[in-house]
Amino acid sequence: MSAAPGTRGPVIVKLGGSVITRKRETEHLRPKVLRRLCEELGTVAGVPLVILHGAGSFGHPGARKFGLAVPPEPGVAPAHRARGASIVAAEVRRLHVTVLRELVRAGLSVGSLPPSTHAMNRAGRLELLDPGPFTTLLSSGHAPVSFGDVVPDAAWGWSILSADTIAVALAADLRAERVVFVSDVPGVLAGGSSGRPRVVPDVTPATLDGLRPRGTGPDVTGGIRGKVEAMLAIARGGVDAGLISGLKDGELSRAVRGEFVYGSWAHGQPRDPTGRLGD
Q: What pLDDT does 219 receive?
A: 53
Q: Do 116 and 151 meet the contact criterion of CB atoms below 8 Å apart? A: yes
Query: Mean pLDDT throughout 21-27?
Result: 78
Q: What pLDDT does 276 receive?
A: 46
Confidence of residue 240 (pLDDT cuts 50, 70, 90): very high
For 182-205, what is each residue's pLDDT tens digit? Answer: 999 999 998 755 667 889 999 999
Which phi-psi region, left, alpha or beta, contains residue 276 (left: φ > 0; alpha: ψ -120 to 50)? beta
Q: Which domains does the chain have, with CATH numbers?
A: 11-266 (3.40.1160.10)
C-alpha to C-alpha distances, 133 to 10, 127, 146, nearest whole angstrom: 14, 17, 11
Nearest-CA neighbor of 149 among 133, 161, 167? 161
E-assigned strand segments in 143-221: 143-147, 149-153, 157-161, 178-183, 189-191, 197-199
> How far is the C-alpha of 167 from the C-alpha of 111, rounded, in Å?
17
For 62-76, what is each residue's pLDDT tens digit? Answer: 899 999 999 999 988
Q: Do 215 and 158 meet the contact criterion of CB atoms below 8 Å apart? A: no
Q: What pLDDT does 96 receive?
A: 97
> How far is the C-alpha of 59 from the C-alpha of 28, rounded, in Å?
11
**Can you tell me whether residue 240 is helix, strand or coil?**
strand
Q: What pLDDT does 187 receive?
A: 93
For 103-155, what is each residue's pLDDT tens digit? Answer: 999 999 999 999 999 999 999 999 999 999 999 999 999 999 999 999 999 99
Which phi-psi region, left, alpha or beta, contains residue 217 (left: φ > 0; alpha: ψ -120 to 50)? beta
Residues of the chain with pLDDT > 90: what percent? 76
Q: What pLDDT does 125 receive?
A: 97
**Helix axes 31-42 and 78-105, enclosed angle (nearest 10):** 60
Would the pTM count as exceeding 0.85?
Answer: yes
Q: Do 268 and 275 meet the contact criterion of CB atoms below 8 Å apart? A: no
**Does pLDDT of 275 surpass 50?**
no
Q: What pLDDT does 152 receive?
A: 97
**Lowest-confidence range among 18-27, 88-97, 170-179?**
18-27
Query: Mean pLDDT throughout 195-218?
Result: 79
Neighbours of 31 (CB within 10 A): 11
| Beta pairing, strands 125-129 & 119-122 | antiparallel
> How far is the C-alpha of 169 from the C-alpha of 131, rounded, in Å?
9
For 247-264, what is each residue's pLDDT tens digit? Answer: 999 999 999 999 999 999
> How far is the C-alpha of 99 from the C-alpha of 51, rounded, in Å?
10
Q: What pLDDT does 222 receive?
A: 62
> How far is the C-alpha of 227 from the C-alpha of 208, rounded, in Å?
10
The mean pLDDT value of the chain amounts to 90
CA atoms within a 13 Å half-sphere pointing along the CA-CB vector of 265:
16
7 or 253: whose pLDDT is higher?
253
Nearest-CA neighbor of 11 among 276, 261, 207? 261
Q: What pLDDT does 211 receive?
A: 82
Q: What pLDDT does 223 receive?
A: 79
